[in-house]
């Protein structure tokens, strides 16, 4: 009898822990050894990628989901502290990285039109992906994986 209760308790805790999740946004490195060797195209892609991270963090901060509510009930304040720490760390690192990339782009006289076009392209792809998810043509897992791919590979 005790084993069944213990098993139920472990399974319930595992299920609830699986439902809850904290923010896990990428924290970029401000300076990379290969930065100076990057071309304008590579710098543009990197700048768009980092800006997409900032946008995702800000969107996550603004959106309240079922996972967030469950987190608040089960793990508050620990998860709230972890999320806020990840938001702050990710945004600070991304902003520092953007400053670095902007400096390199200016130093190499890279075109601002190229950056604007790359940003539009990624925004369009993300909107199309979000539409697919909202119309339930792809699963949440497919959405997350595809979004990650767009943000990291451009």
Give the Cα separation of 94 and 75 in Å (integer).
Answer: 27
pLDDT in the model for residue 128: 93
Global pTM exceeds 0.85: no
Looking at residue 20, its pLDDT comes to 41
Is 90 exceeded by the pLDDT of residue 150?
no
CB–CB of 43/114 below 8 Å?
no
Look at residue 24 and tell me whether its pLDDT is greater than 80.
no
What mean pLDDT is reported for the chain? 77
Q: Residue 28 — pLDDT band, cuts 50, 70, 90?
A: confident
For position 93, what pLDDT does the model report? 92
Amino acid 7: pLDDT: 47
- Looking at residue 23, its pLDDT comes to 59
Q: Strands, E, within 17-142: which ranges? A: none
Domain ranges of the chain: 28-153
pLDDT tens sequence across 98-147 = 999 999 999 999 888 877 887 788 888 888 999 999 999 999 889 888 88
Predicted local distance difference test score (pLDDT) of residue 8? 46
Look-up of token digits 């924290």: 27
pLDDT band at 72 (very low <50, low <70, confident <90, very high): low
Q: What pLDDT, on the 0 to 100 scale, is given for residue 136? A: 93
Q: How many residues are recorded in the chain? A: 154
Residues 6 or more apart whose Cβ sits within 8 Å of residue 108: 40, 43
**To 10 degrees, what angle do helices 66-74 and 78-107 make?**
130
Separation between Cα atoms, residue 29 and residue 10, nearest integer Å: 38
């Amino acid at each position: 009898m005790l084993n069944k209760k213990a098993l139920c308790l472990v399974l319930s805790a595992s299920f609830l822990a699986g439902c809850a999740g904290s923010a896990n946004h990428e924290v970029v490195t401000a300076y990379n050894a290969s930065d100076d060797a990057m071309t304008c195209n590579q710098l543009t892609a990197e700048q768009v990628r980092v800006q997409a991270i900032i946008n995702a963090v800000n969107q996550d901060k603004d959106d309240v989901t079922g996972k967030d509510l469950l987190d608040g009930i089960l793990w508050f304040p620990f998860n709230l502290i972890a999320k806020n720490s990840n938001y702050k760390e990710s945004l600070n690192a991304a902003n520092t990285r953007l400053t670095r990339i902007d400096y390199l782009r200016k130093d190499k006289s890279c075109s601002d039109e190229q950056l604007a076009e790359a940003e539009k392209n990624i925004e369009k792809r993300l909107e199309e992906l979000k539409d697919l998810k909202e119309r339930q043509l792809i699963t949440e897992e497919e959405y997350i994986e595809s979004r990650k791919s767009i943000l990291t590979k451009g």
